[in-house]
Structure 1
Amino acid sequence: MRLGLALPTFGPDARPDGLLHVCRTAEDMGYDSLWTGDRVLAPHTPGAPYPSADGEMPRVYENHMDPLVALTFAASHTTRVRLGTSTLNGLWLPPIMLARSLTTLDLLSQGRLVVGLGLGWMPDEYTAVSVAWKGRGARLDETLDVLEEYWAHDVFSHEGELFTIPETVVGLKPHQRPGPPVLLAAFTPGGLRRIGRRLGGWLPVAMPLPQLLALWDVIQKAAVEADRDPAALRMALRVNPTLTDTRTDSDQMPRAGTLAQYIDYARAAAEAGVHELFVDFGQTPATLAERVDLAGRFLEGVRLG
């Protein structure tokens, strides 16, 4: 199982020196990938509750970087680690501009990009970028159509329900062909089936492993029904630890526990067939140096297991 680490693109450490320290240290430690998230707003009272146990949006989001620019910075200071978005709210840009940005980043990083898309949870952000909240599924499908067409053809045009792109020559091509892998964060039956039908994999968040595997089975079955090879799909599992000083009851994991418990969870995920797991210590009340230390201890604990 590959192991990844979230970059500090939120909060007080979302600065050049913070990014530089984490991306270089993570690569030197032996992490396989680095990940960023996506925000454009941080209202005091969001229009919808945050998808967590208490419904409160983390205040670190008040300071947020552009995820693709941050990954481009990380690409220029690393040579090996994969560079992923978890998640990029891909509906906020016209798909032709999204295709250009993703292609450029994959080319500049020499094929290290993993495109993780999501639909977001806050209607306020859609208002801010003048994109309709309603109809997100249809907009996602047409966005995926444009990405596929842009990467597959030297000349293409697109005429859809939402977007019209006049015929154009596409000279810029990604390093990965036909394009970088595209994963989706989804949990509804329709979203899971969409992954199996047309995407490269799934971006779940940490949950009890039996529940995780049951949802993965929905994706796998959808792939078979679409005449796709389910073994070709990949799962990259996000873990947002809430660290405690003492062990929590098993029913509290993976929502909260000690570092040792999260190490055990990661080992169990590997045994269950999870392809990649990445950890985000960015919401823990710790300094950047302390979080880097946690990242090193986590990696060592999982790899030695």
Structure 2
Amino acid sequence: MRIGFAVPQFGTFADPARTARMCAALEALGCDSLWVADRLLAPLTPPEGYPGGTMPAQYGTHLDPLLALGVAASVTERVRLGSSTLNALWYPPLVLARSLTTLDLISRGRLDVGIGLGWMREEYEAAAVPWQGRGARLEETLDVLEAVWRSATVTHTGPLWTIPPSTVLPQPFQRPRPPLLLGGFTPVALERIGRRGDGWLAASMPLPYFDGLWAVARGAAERAGRDPDALRRVFRVNAQVTRGEADPAEAYRRGSVHQLCDHLRTMCRTDTDEVLVDLQLTTESPEEYLDLAAQFMAELADDRLQRL
């Protein structure tokens, strides 16, 4: 099991100097990775469809994910750096490829590119990006990223974007490209992961739901002639840490540190599986965040040592 934490970038943590200090401290705790998330706005009228109910107020204050990842890269040396998830469709894919390539070079090959579609219609409207046709738009975005990363001479002609034969350099530090992880919780999204991705940006969830979705990705990988066992999984938990024991049925997202870790252990079944613990919604200060992070590290230490 690998252990990752969220880059502090929301609510009271949306301060670049604080983000830098905390990322350095999280690496010093011994974690394996740090991850940014992507929010553009928080509607005053609660949006429909927020996973888990009411959208947290902290999301109204946020740092840009790519710039926050650059801050994390500048103050760390060892940890992997990823996005879970970057809402890729808000960015022209050629511009996105350039930014991600730069991050991979800054970090000397520590970047994991995690992208998804997002879920909030209001953000798409504010970014002037069509809500309809998101799946096809993502497919072409992936086509452009692959074209830019795999060859110094790039050309692309598609329904949405055209790139004339051009030189696009430098290339990423990692060859042939950085690992590409995809988010999503629908059969269509899991099919795409199996067909095109290097892994799934998943979430801590009830096991029967997880097993059904993962079977879709594995089946798609097999049909595409790919090795399903090579697919990575990163389980995100927006932890709601309680002082005492909570309802066991909610332990995939809410409970004591021990309860949350017990559930994560049941989900991580291979040594390449990874947990991503986001503590920004359950803490208010750097000291509280880092103290809880240390508790998670201690609770999961035996599982991590088995991998090492």
The one of 154, 157, 169 equivalent to 1:156 is: 154
The answer as to whether partners of 1:254 and 1:262 remain within 8 angstroms in 2 is yes
The answer as to whether partners of 1:46 and 1:122 remain within 8 angstroms in 2 is no
| Alpha-carbon shift at residue 12 of structure 1 (Å) | 1.2
| Alpha-carbon shift at residue 214 of structure 1 (Å) | 2.6
Give matches, 1:110-189, under 5 Å.
Answer: 110-189=108-187
The one of 257, 281, 291 equivalent to 1:283 is: 281
Residues of 2 paired with 1:212 and 1:280: CA distance?
19
| Alpha-carbon shift at residue 267 of structure 1 (Å) | 2.6
Which residue of structure 2 aligns with residue 74 of structure 1? 72
Which residue of structure 1 aligns with residue 16 of structure 2? 16
Which residue of structure 1 aligns with residue 294 of structure 2? 296
| Alpha-carbon shift at residue 217 of structure 1 (Å) | 1.7
Q: Secondary structure at the match of 2:294?
A: helix
The answer as to whether partners of 1:49 and 1:56 remain within 8 angstroms in 2 is no
**Percentage of matched positions with identical amino acids:** 51
Residues of 2 paired with 1:13 and 1:148: CA distance?
34
The answer as to whether partners of 1:117 and 1:185 remain within 8 angstroms in 2 is yes
Residues of 1 paired with 2:79 and 2:283: CA distance?
26
The one of 188, 191, 194 equivalent to 1:193 is: 191
| Alpha-carbon shift at residue 152 of structure 1 (Å) | 1.2
2:234 corresponds to 1:239: no
Change in CA separation of 1:274 and 1:208 when aligned onto 2, cut-off 3 Å: farther
Residues of 2 paired with 1:154 and 1:8: CA distance?
35
Q: Which runs of 5+ in 2 are unaligned?
A: 304-308
Please give the root-mean-square deviation of Cα atoms over the aligned residues, in Å.
Answer: 1.4
Residues of 2 paired with 1:163 and 1:48: CA distance?
31
Residue 2 of structure 1 aligns with an amino acid whose one-letter code is R
Residue 15 of structure 2 aligns with an amino acid whose one-letter code is R
| Alpha-carbon shift at residue 5 of structure 1 (Å) | 0.5
Residues of 2 paired with 1:172 and 1:300: CA distance?
41
Which residue of structure 2 aligns with residue 215 of structure 1? 213
Residues of 1 paired with 2:124 and 2:269: CA distance?
39
2:22 corresponds to 1:29: no
Residues of 1 paired with 2:149 and 2:244: CA distance?
50
Residues of 2 paired with 1:170 and 1:300: CA distance?
45
The normalised TM-score by structure 1 is: 0.95
Deviations 1:230-279 (A, max 9, x none): 12210111011112222123212213111111122233233466611110
Residues of 2 paired with 1:250 and 1:13: CA distance?
30
Which residue of structure 2 aligns with residue 269 of structure 1? 267
Q: Secondary structure at the match of 2:145?
A: helix
Change in CA separation of 1:299 and 1:220 when aligned onto 2, cut-off 3 Å: same
Residues of 1 paired with 2:277 and 2:237: CA distance?
5
Moved more, 209-218 or 288-297: 209-218
Residues of 2 paired with 1:207 and 1:9: CA distance?
24
The alignment covers a number of residue pairs equal to 303
Residues of 2 paired with 1:255 and 1:4: CA distance?
16
Q: Secondary structure at the match of 1:39?
A: coil
Q: Secondary structure at the match of 1:266?
A: helix
The one of 88, 91, 94 equivalent to 2:89 is: 91
Residues of 2 paired with 1:257 and 1:98: CA distance?
37
Residues of 2 paired with 1:167 and 1:16: CA distance?
39
Q: Secondary structure at the match of 2:263?
A: helix
| Alpha-carbon shift at residue 26 of structure 1 (Å) | 1.1
Residue 6 of structure 1 aligns with an amino acid whose one-letter code is A
The answer as to whether partners of 2:204 and 2:264 remain within 8 angstroms in 1 is no
Q: Secondary structure at the match of 2:241?
A: coil
2:101 corresponds to 1:100: no
Q: Secondary structure at the match of 1:34?
A: strand
Residues of 1 paired with 2:221 and 2:252: CA distance?
28
